[in-house]
Structure 1
Amino acid sequence: MTEKMTPILKWQYEQLLKEMLLLQNHLTDQDCPCETESEMCVRKHLLIIEAYAQETIPLETEQEFQTKLQQLAVEAKEKRNAEERMLRGEDLGLTKDDSEWVRRWRKEFEPRSLSKPEGT
């Protein structure tokens, strides 16, 4: 996909993809002390993914991607809620298997993020 998009929309997708990559890394790297020093890395990245997805929806002109962003926001919130239950000691939280979830979503948006910004 090489169509043009506004610079802000391209920036939004780049930020969203960065957060997805960081979350994927936290879920697969068992050496990361994610819950030490009050960091809660997985929760933090899920919250940011949810926020960027919601914020990007009104900027997106393609209905297909608006729908995908809405679904991503819903799923990220569900995963964040599960992670928060784990942090409270009520549930198991996310696992390495959830890295496949974030990877699949990242692959949905990577081609869209390659669009050229308007004016280039």
Structure 2
Amino acid sequence: MVQCPNVSHVIQQETLDRVFAGLADPTRRGILVRLGQGPATMSELTEPTGMSLTGMRKHVRALEDAGLVVTRKVGRSRQCHLVAEPLDAAMAWISFYQRLWARRLDGLDAYLTPQRKDRDP
């Protein structure tokens, strides 16, 4: 009998893939930093970068695909808002592996400490 993978686990992995893909570009990370200060229009995001509006739209679309940004039409402009929840999922994943490796390195240190004491004169 073939067992299906845990659907929740698969969805979580896909979410992490999209979040890390969104974070992979320095321009997109800069957009997230700016949106962390509050919502901004596409034009406001474009100004400090010198990038074209079309180029900025591509970056914002990648962040939307990652679930990190939502946009909505306000009059003649498009307002962008940060969505923090996917970042929380990424931080939980990073924290898990940080604790895992810290325990492993602590174990290695405990193993090596007696050996170091034997070598010290």
TM-score, with length taken from structure 2: 0.30
Q: Looking at secondary structure, tell me which structure has more strand per residue.
A: 2
Q: Which has the higher contact order (CA 8 A, sep 6+)?
A: 1
TM-score, with length taken from structure 1: 0.30
Larger radius of gyration: 2
